[in-house]
Amino acid sequence: MLPEFDNFEVKNRWQKVHIDRFLKSGWPSSKNEEWKFTSLHHLVHKPFKIGLNLNGIVESKSAPSIKGANQLIFRNGILDSQLSEVDSDDLVINNLLDNPSASVFLNQTKLKQHPVYNLTLGAMRSATVIDIDNASSKQTPLIELFFTGGLIKQSSHPVVIVRLAKNSKVNILETHSSYNGLSAPIIFIELGEGSVCNHVKCQVADLDSIQLGLTLINQEKDSDYRNFTLSSGGCISRSELHLNLNGEEAICHLSAIYLGCKQQHMDVTSRLYHNVANCKSEQIIRGVLDDRARGIFQGKIRVAPEAQKTDGQQMTRALLLSRETEADTKPELEIFADDVICTHGATVGELDENQLFYLVSRGIPLIKARAMLIEAFLIDTLSQIRAPELKKQAEYYIQDWVSKSTKLSSSTG
C-alpha cells in the first residue's frame, strides 16, 4: 500500500503522525462497521504515487462555468494559482501549512481513526484557507473549487478550509472532475454565528477513478448550511459528510443523490451530530442505479443528552433500473435526549409501471417517459438550493446522466 511513503517528505513534521496512523490501520475492510458496505481492502494491491506537482491534463468534462465566480483550480490536489482567478475583496486566501497553528486546527476533529482523514492530512502539500468576512456586503460571493488531474496512477489530497465570520455568507460550487487514480479531498467549512452557506458538490470524475471525499462542517449559533451533493463518477465513490451542530438554532439541510451505472460502487455516508438544543436538520437522499451498480447510504443522526428540542428528519429512497443492481441502506438513530422528534424513512423500488404506462399511453416515447420519471424522482433534492446558478449546475449533471443512462438502456433493450 502506497509504497511511496518510504521516501515521502512531509511538509510539516506533525503530518507524519497521520501517515503512521494510516499505515498502522491500513485500508478499512468490511469488518470495520463504518466501512461495512464499502471495503477498500483490495486497494492494498493498487499503489498510487502521491501527486506532488501540476502535471497531467487539465481539460475535463464539466458544466458551463459561472460568470463572476472566484475560481480556484486544484491540479493533483495542489492549488494552481496561475489558472485560478479570485477578484472578490470579501475573500482572504492563505496556505494554512505556513501557519504554525495549523496542526491545532486540523487535529480538533474526532476522526483520529479515519483512513481518508489520516491519509490526506499526511499526504497534503498545502491547505488552502479561505476566510470570509462580509456581514455588511450585499452580494454573496461564489467560490468555485475545481479539482482535476490526469494521471491514473497518481493520487491527489487537496485540503480546503472555508471559514465564515459572524453573519457572513457564501456560495460554494465544488466540482471533482479528476482523472487521477485516487482522489481523497477534505473540505472543512466553519460557519460562524449567523452565517449562511450554500454548498453544491458535484463529483463527476472519471469512471476508472476512486473518489473518497470527506466534508467536515461545524456550525455555530443561528448559522444556516445547505448542502447538495451529486455523485456520478468513480468506480468506487464515497462521499462522506460529518456535521456538528454546535450552536443553538442552527439549521442544516443536506440533500444527496448518487447515480450509478456499469459496475460503479456509490456510497453516500453522513454523520450528523446534534450537540446542542434547538437545532434542526433535514436530509433527503435519492439514488438511481442501473446495470450492475451498487448504491449505499449510511446516515447516522446522534442526539446528545443536552440536545433537547432537536428536530431531525431523514428520508432516503433508491430507484433500481436494472435487475442486477444492489441498494444497501443503513439509516441510524442514536438518541440520548427525550424531548426530540427524530424520524427516518427508507424505500427501495423500481420505476412505477402505472406511471410509465400513463405517460406512454399519452403518446410520449418510452425513453422519454423513463427519463421524465427518473428526473421527477430526483428533482425534490434540488428544492433547497437557493442560488439559481448553483441549481443550474446540478440540473446539468442530472440531465446529462439521465440522458446517457436512458440511451444506454434503450440500445441494450
Partner 1 sequence: MVATVETISAVEEATGKYKYGFVTDIESEKAPKGLNEDIIRFISGKKNEPEWMLNWRLKAYRHWLKMPEPNWSKLSIAPIDYNDIYYYSAPKAAEKLDSLDEVDPELLATYEKLGIPLNEQKMLSGVAVDAVFDSVSVATTFREELSKVGVIFCPISEAIQKYPELVRKYLSSVVPVSDNYFSALNSAVFTDGSFVYVPKNVKCPMELSTYFRINEQKTGQFERTLIVVEDGGYVSYLEGCTAPQRDENQLHAAVVELVALTDSEIKYSTVQNWYPGDETGKGGIYNFVTKRGSCRGDRSKISWTQVETGSAITWKYPSCVLKGKNSIGEFYSVAVTNGAQQADTGTKMIHLGEGSKSTIISKGISAGKSQNTYRGLVEINRGAESARNFTQCDSLLVGQTCGAHTVPYIVSRNPSGKIEHEATTSRISEEQLFYCLQRGITEEDAVSLIVNGFCKEVMKELPMEFAVEAQKLIGISLEGSVG
Complete DSSP assignment for 22-33: HHHH-S--TTSG
- Does residue 356 belong to the site contacting partner 1 (CB under 8 A)? no
The count of chain residues that interact with partner 1, using the rule CB under 8 A, is: 35
Q: Which is nearer to partner 1, 49 or 330 (CB)?
A: 330
- Does residue 357 belong to the site contacting partner 1 (CB under 8 A)? no
Quick check: helix, strand or coil at residue 287?
strand
**Strand-strand pairing, 70-75 and 142-148:** parallel
CA–CA dist 154, 179 (Å, integer)? 9
- Does residue 349 belong to the site contacting partner 1 (CB under 8 A)? yes
Q: Which is nearer to partner 1, 191 or 245 (CB)?
A: 245
Among 350, 365, 408, 410, binds partner 1 (CB under 8 A): 350
Q: Which residues contact 104 (CB under 8 A, 6 or more apart)?
A: none
Could you say which residues in the range 186-225 bind partner 1, by CB under 8 A?
none
Quote the least distance from Cβ 290 to partner 1, whole Å. Answer: 10
Quote the least distance from Cβ 413 to partner 1, whole Å. Answer: 16
CA–CA dist 223, 217 (Å, integer)? 11
Quote the least distance from Cβ 114 to partner 1, whole Å. Answer: 19
Q: Which is nearer to partner 1, 59 or 338 (CB)?
A: 338
Quote the least distance from Cβ 192 to partner 1, whole Å. Answer: 30
Quote the least distance from Cβ 32 to partner 1, whole Å. Answer: 11
Question: Is 375 in contact with 398 (CB distance < 8 Å)?
Answer: yes
- Does residue 83 belong to the site contacting partner 1 (CB under 8 A)? no
| Other Cβ atoms closer than 10 A to 67 | 7
Question: Is 188 in contact with 161 (CB distance < 8 Å)?
Answer: yes
CA–CA dist 89, 152 (Å, integer)? 37
**Strand-strand pairing, 326-335 and 294-303:** parallel
- Does residue 305 belong to the site contacting partner 1 (CB under 8 A)? yes
Quote the least distance from Cβ 312 to partner 1, whole Å. Answer: 9
C-alpha cell of 372? 421524465
Could you say which residues in the range 165-184 bind partner 1, by CB under 8 A?
none
- Does residue 345 belong to the site contacting partner 1 (CB under 8 A)? yes
Q: Which is nearer to partner 1, 12 or 308 (CB)?
A: 308
Complete DSSP assignment for 177-232: ---SSEE--EEEEEE-TT-EEEEEEEE---TTSEEEEEEEEEE-TT-EEEEEEEE-
- Does residue 408 belong to the site contacting partner 1 (CB under 8 A)? no
Q: In Å, how far from its chain's centre is CA 166?
A: 25
Block residue for cell numbers 446495470: 291
Q: Give the CA count within 13 Å in the CB-facing half-sphere of 363.
A: 0
Among residues 53, 43, 56, which one has the least CA distance to residue 77?
53
Quote the least distance from Cβ 323 to partner 1, whole Å. Answer: 6
Block residue for cell numbers 483520529: 112
Q: Which is nearer to partner 1, 36 or 41 (CB)?
A: 36
Quote the least distance from Cβ 324 to partner 1, whole Å. Answer: 8
Site string for partner 1, 315-344 (x = CB under 8 A): ---x-xxxxxxxxxxxxxxxxxxxxxxxxx
Residues forming contacts to partner 1 in the complex (CB under 8 A) are: 33, 305, 308, 318, 320-350
